[in-house]
Chains A and B, each alone.
Chain A
Amino acid sequence: MENMLFVSSSPHIRSEVTTQRLMLDVIIALIPAAFAGIYFFGARAALLIAVTVISSVGFEYLIRKMLKRNNTIGDLSAVVTGLILALNLPPSLPFWMAVVGSFFAIVIVKQLFGGLGYNFVNPALAARAFLIVSYGARMTSWTPPLTMAADVDTLSFATPLGALKQGGKLPELFDMFIGNIGGSLGETSALALIIGGIYLIVRGVITWHIPVIYIGTVGLMAWIIGPDGIFTGNPLFHILAGGLMLGAIFMATDYTTSPMTKKGTVIYAIGCGVLTMLFRLYTNMPEGVSYAILLMNVSVPIIDRCTKPARFGGKAHV
């Protein structure tokens, strides 16, 4: 028996939570949004999801092999990246462009910076930004949902935020809530995304702080900076429009690129909300969620440094 005993530093028990289990939970939480995308945009949406997921996992496997590192596809993080990337793309995007996106996300942003945990921005978001810069026209041409009336002008079809910017007809809030609007594959159905978000919070994968504060900030700013002077805005429109739900629940909450402390998390979430509204209201772009999150991602090291928790017993408590 002497030689058979394990000896290690305490603690000798570990929680059930593993990286793989967390990633699996994120995948499960994204399923309602993925199904909503397929429901509203048809079989092509399913194919696009398959293309990004398979190519992301494939790139993860290949680059790790080329870099002579251990195989990490088992942690499921590449599946999550591929899935989130698909949900961020227009449903009609050519498949090869989606593969380019996967390559940028996995190889450039994630693995060349050291792999899981080392990327300084969210890989799927960075890939989306890269695709917008590279293939701007295709990345902003939207298809109407299959469920919409047949008389929609498909050529000039716009997202709600696009319509707002160009002065088009705005959709009903209920359609925006269930996802019967134009937009990226997985961003349109607030309902499906909220179901996923509640699952993540219940499972303890994320806390409510980032989504609620981010969305709350957007709502507050939308209300204050209204079209007819202060306090005339419609917060619900801005909350339900564009990629806010997807961004606030699934991308701003990315562990690696969000702050480590509670206080930092609050600052980060408020920053995401403020930047999103500044982009939406005061720039040429209709939407600002991606760039807001990316900018806050790169601010995380500074936020972390400024929000170190107070030392236990550091101040006089007697």
Chain B
Amino acid sequence: MIFQGFRGGVHPPQAKNTMECVTVRMDVPEKAIIPMQQHIGAPCQATVKKGDTVKVGQVIGNSDAYVSVPIHSSVSGTVTAVSERIISGSRPVVCVEIKPDGLQEVSEDIKPPVVDSKESFIKAIRDSGLTGLGGAGFPTHVKLNPPKDAKIDTLIINGAECEPYITSDYRECMENTENIIEGIKHVLKWTGIPKAMIGIEDNKPEAIKKLEKAVEKINNISVHGLRTLYPQGAEKMLIKTLTGREVPPGKLPSDVGCLVMNVASVAFVAEYMKTGMPLIKKRVTVDGSSVKTPMNVEVLIGTPAGEVFKFSGGFVSEPAKIIMGGPMMGISLYSDEIPVMKYTNALLALNEKDGKIPEESACIRCGRCVSVCPMNLLPFDIDRLVKANKYDELDKYNVMDCIECGCCAYTCPAKRMLTQSIRLGKDILRRKAKK
């Protein structure tokens, strides 16, 4: 049964041009740049140095921190540099640069994990390097191990894929159905969660049909078609739609008895349990108005964005903006050298017309930002306070609740950069809290 869903949301053009594009595997790149932080949490320290030879699946970065996952080499070859680079944002990240030898020799350490308990399962998941593949990149083993007093009754599998353009999760559902179901069974078995619900937006009827057929004889896994409404795939919105529960401010899904995993993440769990091959590749949707041939590509992690575009057939026009992820929440890249990472699900190249940043004009108080905000915030007010440097008043506006879905800025007729203002507001409040 589907509950009423969430409030607000927008209907951006779907642009799912690549739905029928069967995933094409891309070759080994000319060079691999592997950042030591591809997840939320502590960055890894590089465990290799310049001149080392590495093999596929070998650990090249690790951390002692709990909220962190190891990073593996996606290629075999020689480390040519271990140096800091700006990936996104302003903080440099240590990156291991590898010159592949093209042989793709697999590390001797790769063997299926031995799992006989919840603890060994969680350890195996950490060793696999898995982070949430939906886009946020939260380490999966942390999610799977909620606080003792949290009673998780529902595993939610996120196949909503509400961002325009992206179809990589859809292709996962179509091409890797069995692994999705198997992965869910693994998670249910070792965590003791009684049931799983798969949520998919109803603009993907084929995927819903296929998964429904796959779970026909399984009574604790159900498939649910969801209203196509951005940001349906946001964790809190998905939980609200499927269970009617609202995650309280500052709390986690486990506080309302839910654990949310992406379809690609659970499919990876199944694959890893069979082969022991860690997370070294990703299915990426390549699209956008500058791209000649939109497609879905299986890419080795560390492949620079430019090489992926080249593989897809290059550009029809000079791109004005390159986005990693979807157009609503993705990160715009300053260079096509930025590599594909664990959480990358799309690479979009937009032409001048689509990519240029519109000019802001005065807020006309139309109220659209308020009516579309799924978190019930007042984006226009937050924008006003941030722009006027009235930081003291920000506390009253629940700024930290913002999930940065971008609905407010998307819908604003005055083209105000509301989401950017709220991000800035969050940053200011975080700094204030630290003092």
Contacts and interface: CB of A to CB of B under 8 A. Distances in A.
Interface stretch (B107-115, B193-201, B401-409): B401-409
B354 interface: yes
Contacts of B321: 5-8, 12
A258 B371 CA distance: 14
Given A11-B328, A12-B330, A317-B256, A2 B335 contact: yes
B143 interface: no
A13 B12 contact: yes
B356 A309 contact: no
B274 interface: no
Nearest to A17: B413
B92 interface: no
Interface in B316-336: 318-323, 327-336
Dominant secondary structure at the B interface: loop
A229 interface: no
A5 B288 CA distance: 14
Nearest to B361: A19
A162 interface: no
B256 A318 contact: yes
A9 B423 contact: yes
A10 B325 CA distance: 10
Contact of B362 (A7, A8, A115, A260): A115
Contact of A21 (B354, B356, B368, B413): B413
Interface residues of A, number: 46
Interface string A277-318: 000000000000000000000000000000011111111111
A261 interface: yes
A2 B378 CA distance: 37
A8 B332 contact: yes
B406 A260 contact: no
Contact of A5 (B331, B335, B376, B401): B335
Contacts of A261: 367, 370
A109 to B, nearest CB: 15
Interface string B240-256: 00001111110100001
With most chain B CB atoms within 10 A of its CB, the pick from A18, A115, A255, A312 is A312
Contacts of A135: none
A1 interface: yes
A10 B406 contact: yes
Interface string B347-376: 010100011111001111111101101111
Contacts of B361: 19, 72, 75, 116
Contacts of B244: 317
B329 A11 contact: yes
B349 to A, nearest CB: 10
A122 to B, nearest CB: 12
B249 A11 contact: no
Nearest to B247: A313
Interface of A: 1-2, 4-15, 17-19, 21-22, 72, 75, 77, 115-118, 255-262, 265, 308-318
Given A117-B364, A255-B365, 11 more contacts: A1-B336, A5-B322, A12-B323, A15-B412, A18-B414, A257-B365, A313-B236, A313-B249, A315-B246, A317-B244, A317-B246
Interface of B: 10, 12-13, 164, 236, 244-249, 251, 256-257, 318-323, 327-336, 348, 350, 354-358, 361-368, 370-371, 373-378, 380, 398, 401, 404, 406, 409-415, 417, 419-420, 423
13 contacts: A1-B319, A5-B333, A7-B321, A7-B333, A8-B332, A12-B327, A13-B12, A14-B358, A18-B415, A22-B366, A260-B380, A309-B377, A312-B246
